[in-house]
Amino acid sequence: MFGTMHPRYRHAAAIYDKAFPFFSFGAGPKIHEIVARTVVVGDGGTVVDVGCGTGLMLAMLRERVGPSGRVVGIDLTEPMLDRARQRVSHGGWKNVELHCADMTEFDPGTEADAAVFALSLSAAEPAATFHHTLGYLRPGGSVVIADGIPARGRWYHPAINAYARFRAPLVGSDLGRAREIERLAHEHLEDVRTRVIWAGLYTIISGRVPRKGG
Ligand SMILES: C[S@@+](CC[C@H](N)C(=O)[O-])C[C@H]1O[C@@H](n2cnc3c(N)ncnc32)[C@H](O)[C@@H]1O
C-alpha cells in the first residue's frame, strides 16, 4: 500500500484544517492537546505520530521531546502530508521527519519510545496496525489513541453516538473499528487508562507496551 492514498483523505487535505473543528464540534485542538500531554516521552525521545495528517499535533509533540528528540510523522495520503511538510518547513523544525507510508508497514529504523494515533487508527486496520506498532516500540513504551469510540453509561450517549454514526462516512472513521480499538488496547497494553471527553464524542486511551517477561 506504500505510495497509495486513503480514498477519503485524497481530497480532504485542502479543507481539513478548517473543517476539523467543525466536524469535531470544537474538540479537535483539545484532542491534540490531551494526546500530546498524555504521551509518556522525555527529552531526547522518539515519538511517532501515526496518521499525522496535516501535522496539527507536530508542534505539541516537538515540545515533549525537546530539541534533541525526534518526531516522526507518517501518513498514507500525500496531499495531507504536503500540508504537514509546509508546517515543518515554515517552522524550521529540524527534528521532525515525515514519511508517506502505510501505518501497517512503516519502519522507523530504530526503536521508538512512543506512538500516538489522533483519529487515525479507526481510519485504518486497527489490529494489523496495533501489532505492527508494538513491534517497533520499546518495552514500556507509551501508546496514546484518540478516536470516536461509541460511549456508554450516560443518558445522552445514544444521541452523541447517533451523531457520530451520521458523521463517520464524512470523516472516514469506522465505528466498528473504533470498538475493536478498545479491545485491542486492553488485550495488548498495560496500565490502560480511558478518558471520555466532549460528552462522549471522543475517547482517549493510553497504555504501555508490556515489558518482556513482565
Ligand atoms: C482523521 S485524519 C487524522 C489526522 C491527524 N492525526 C489529526 O489528528 O488531525 C486520519 C489520517 O489517517 C491517515 N491514514 C488512514 N489510513 C492510513 C494508513 N493505513 N496508513 C497511514 N495513514 C493512514 C489518513 O490519510 C488521514 O490523514
Mutate to test the pocket of ligand 1, among 6, 39, 145 (most ligand atoms within 8 A of CB): 6
Task: Give Cα 179 to chain centroid, integer Å.
Answer: 15
What pLDDT is recorded for position 209? 98
CA-nearest residue for atom 27, ligand 1, is: 53
What's the pLDDT tens digit per position in 83-109? Answer: 999 999 999 999 999 999 999 999 999
Q: In whole angstroms, what is the distance from residue 176 CA to residue 86 CA? A: 34
Looking at the chain, the whole-number percentage of residues with pLDDT higher than 70 is 95
Mean pLDDT (whole number) for 161-187: 85
- Domain 13-17+26-208: give its CATH code: 3.40.50.150
Of 10 and 136, more confident: 136
Examine the pLDDT at 2 and tell me if it is beyond 50: no
Residue 33 three-state SS: helix
Q: In whole angstroms, what is the distance from residue 133 CA to residue 136 CA? A: 6
What's the pLDDT tens digit per position in 32-49? Answer: 999 999 999 999 999 999
Mean pLDDT (whole number) for 16-43: 91
| pTM for the full predicted model | 0.93
Pocket of ligand 1 (CB under 6 A): 6, 9, 51-53, 56-57, 74-77, 80, 102-104, 118-120, 123-124, 171
- Residue spans of the domains in the chain: they are 13-17+26-208
Number of residues assigned to the chain: 214
Ligand 1 atom having least distance to the Cα of 6 = 25
Single-letter code of the amino acid located at 20: F
Q: In whole angstroms, what is the distance from residue 213 CA to residue 205 CA? A: 24
